[in-house]
Amino acid sequence: MQYKEAIKRNIELLTDVQKEAASWDEGPLLVLAGPGSGKTRVLTLRIARLLVESSDDNFRILGLTFTNKAADEMRTRIRELIPGMDKRLYLGTFHSFCAEVLRNHGSHVGVKPDFTIYSENEDLDEIVSEVYSYLLRQGKINPLNVSKVLPIIQYLKSRLILPESDLSSYISNIEDRQAIEMIYMNYEQKLKDLNALDFNSLIMKSYELFRKYPFVAKHYRTIYPYICIDEFQDTNQGQYNLVRSLTLGKHNNLFIVADDDQVIYQWNGASASRVEEFRKDFNAQVIQLPENFRCPPEVVQLANNLILYNVNRSKDKKPLLAKKPIQDSFEVNLEYFPDYPTEADWVAEIIQETYALNQNKTVAVIARNRKLIQPIFEKLKANEIPVVIGQRKNEFESTQLSWVHFILRLAHKRNDKKFLNKVVSNFSLLTESTLNAEEIIAWSKATDGDYLRGFLIAVQKGILTDGHLLKSLEFDLVEGKDFFRFIEVCFGWLDEHMDISQNKEDVLYYDEKRVWDDLQSSLLSRYDREELTLGMFLQELDLLSKEAEPDGSTVQCLTIHASKGKEFDFVYLVGMVEDELPSFQSKKKGDHSIEMEEERRNCFVAITRAKEILTMTYSERYNGWVKQPSRFLYEMGVLQQND
């Protein structure tokens, strides 16, 4: 067992507390892990150790994360530790796990195994509008601001509030409440008719399933006697209830990693007290990992100074301990400007200077909100510095990728009008042809109802001249022989097309094609090519973000929320004034409100992204208004009250 030895050696290299956590076997455990404390390392080593030590057993381990990226990263690390032994491990986000649960056992709550996931708000809004105008026509509701409805429904669903529940504590106006109740109910019905679920339904329906049919939860406890949850502090009430209904308090091997000082999703239902709640509900042991291996000691000091101002913290929480060896390059800077344009220019310029030095350093610009980032992003872009704004992308945006994705979806669901429309419109853009989706539908309905075949017949009439692609479309896709070969042929054709012109659209194409290639090879590393059916491929694709992973030399412009879980050599935290960080809304709630504490945690998260240099900037005026320096600058001790 060479892996057993290797794991042992790896664990030996840990600090004592890390070792204790990585060697944890049974019983509920809360690992309170500060930023940069090596928690992923501890988590992956523990999982690898459990798998290796039980190689004759057949139980599985469930690892839940909040992002696919985190799951992928953990999977990669575990594969490096114990190649080929991760078959007994399910690593995924809450949402992908719930999708799995519902595909396998959803029939108890009326969910079919082959449901589609609607991840785009655009699609969901369409459903809301459809339902709204229907109800309006029927005279069942009075007009209201329809654009507000989807966010309200999503808010309710994320809190597991079903349409039939009493909504009076959420919507005070009776008329609005009744209208929303009705729209919500019809919205759910419509999704059901479409055999579709939105993201919130994944959690909500799984929760309903576990609660109404406890034996399904028991089934998962049998299969997965070990459950690990990363970034537990981010769970909202819905997700926490899901975990509780899954474990039913009888599950002793729940291993969670959390930091209540990094809760920044309160607005989405996360809560600083969740960690404490878990500790009580599960009577969990606690191991603290306060050692910080990421940030310069000075940053650690600032973080410790700052977070002490929060009162709602885990009891006996230890301050961070700076463990990173001191380097000459370490710096903490504070810069002051007359107004935000000057501040933004300065940041862009200094980044440009840094970039010119080509030091191979990773750089991030971080701010409380998107608005602050935008001017810096524009500036860097104008100066031809590689830069991205971090955001989740649920659908491909380039015409090319969108076409490939939708034609595959159509191949899987041959009579879907929406898919055909997208295929036709993207294809028309690509080839400057004039195809008519309605004609294809009419023709298909008269024959076998297969819109994809209809599309093939339509493009065969001289519209698509590439014989190779036509043949592949016919055999590999319409006749279902090998959709991977079709993808390959398709990209070959698109690449050829691209060479003609180098416009903006094409850059997007190459970026997204890289994402596609990554996603495809990630899936192929998890499944045999033969086993990966089109349906499965599309289902997996649905849950993945289509955002490109920037390479190391690209400057990342991030909101604090998007920066979570990442680290950079140089961090520029901009807009450090009252009304930005802390936000205007939190100030309205009061200086000692939980909202204000969340702002403080935002600041805590932002500064602890820095590995070498932390630069904070602020200005006198924003949009012409005079703003005071952020209170957090004082609390951290970088500004003194009399400065």
Partner 1 sequence: MHLKMVTIRNFRGLRDVSVPLDKTTVLIGENNSGKSSFLDAVRLCLARGGKRSSPFDEYDYYTNENISNPKDTEGIQVQFLFQEEKPNEWSETLIRNLGELAQPVAWDMNPEEAIYTVRVSVTSKYEEARNDFYLNIEFLNPEGEPLPPRNQTNTSWSNFIQETPVFYLSALRDIKESFGARSQFWGSFLRNINIPQDKVVEIQDSLQSLNEDIFTNDERLEGLKTTLENIQEVIALGAGDTVSIQALPVRIWDLLSKSQIVLKGRGGNVSFPLQRHGQGTQSLAVLFLFQAYIDVLLKSAYSRTANAILALEEPEAHLHPQAVRALADQVQRIDCQKIITTHSPYFFQNLDLLNIRVFKKNGSETRVHYLKEYVSTRVVAHHGLERFVESKKGKFHYNLSSSELKAYAPLNEHELNALEGMNRNSEHFENISEFYLKSQQILDKDERTDLYTFAQRTRGELFFARGWLLVEGQTEYIVLSYFSEVINKSLDTNGVTIIDFQNNGSPGAFVKLAKSLSFTWRLLSDSDDQLEGTLSQIKKTGYSEEETNRLVKILPWIDFETYLANEGFINEYEAILGDKVREVTVPRHSAEYPIHIANLIKKDKVGNALKFVEYLKNHNFDSRRIPELLRQLINECVGEANAI
Contact footprint for partner 1 (CB under 8 A): 58-60, 100, 103-105, 107-108, 112-114, 213-216, 218-219, 222-223, 479, 527-528, 530-531, 533, 535-536, 539
The answer to whether the peptide bond before residue 375 is cis (omega within 30 degrees of 0) is no
User: Does 40 belong to an annotated binding site?
Assistant: yes
Pairwise CA distance, residues 70 & 61, whole Å: 16
Place of tokens 């012109």: 501
User: Does 249 belong to an annotated binding site?
Assistant: no
CB of 531 to partner 1, least distance (A): 4
User: Does 379 belong to an annotated binding site?
Assistant: no
CB of 50 to partner 1, least distance (A): 15
Is the CB of 455 or the CB of 572 nearer to partner 1? 455
Pairwise CA distance, residues 322 & 302, whole Å: 11
Pairwise CA distance, residues 104 & 113, whole Å: 6
Helices (H) and strands (E) in the chain, counts: 27, 17
Is the CB of 508 or the CB of 523 nearer to partner 1? 523
Is the CB of 398 or the CB of 539 nearer to partner 1? 539
Alpha-carbon torsion angle 89, 95, 101, 105, nearest 10: -170
CB of 207 to partner 1, least distance (A): 17
CB of 215 to partner 1, least distance (A): 3
3-state helix, strand, coil in the chain (%, to 5): 55, 15, 30
CB of 528 to partner 1, least distance (A): 7
Pairwise CA distance, residues 404 & 577, whole Å: 46
User: Does 39 belong to an annotated binding site?
Assistant: yes
User: Does 38 belong to an annotated binding site?
Assistant: yes
Pairwise CA distance, residues 366 & 346, whole Å: 14
Over the range 176-202, which residues count as b (16 or more CB within 10 Å of their CB) and which as e? beebbbbbbebbbebbeeeebbbbbbb
Over the range 281-319, which residues count as b (16 or more CB within 10 Å of their CB) and which as e? ebebeebbbbbbbbbbbbbbbbbbbbbebbeebbeebee
* C-beta separation of 207 from 245 below 8 A: yes
One-letter amino acid identity for 12?
E
Is the CB of 84 or the CB of 139 nearer to partner 1? 84
Is the CB of 221 or the CB of 313 nearer to partner 1? 221
CB of 615 to partner 1, least distance (A): 47
User: Does 92 belong to an annotated binding site?
Assistant: no
* C-beta separation of 296 from 332 below 8 A: yes
Pairwise CA distance, residues 127 & 114, whole Å: 20
Is the CB of 108 or the CB of 566 nearer to partner 1? 108
CB of 536 to partner 1, least distance (A): 4
One-letter amino acid identity for 373?
I
Pairwise CA distance, residues 312 & 512, whole Å: 43
User: Does 433 belong to an annotated binding site?
Assistant: no
Is the CB of 59 or the CB of 170 nearer to partner 1? 59
CB of 141 to partner 1, least distance (A): 33
Pairwise CA distance, residues 566 & 556, whole Å: 11
Is the CB of 382 or the CB of 524 nearer to partner 1? 524
CB of 442 to partner 1, least distance (A): 23
User: Does 129 belong to an annotated binding site?
Assistant: no
Is the CB of 101 or the CB of 562 nearer to partner 1? 101
Binding residues: 33-40
Binding residues for ATP: 33-40
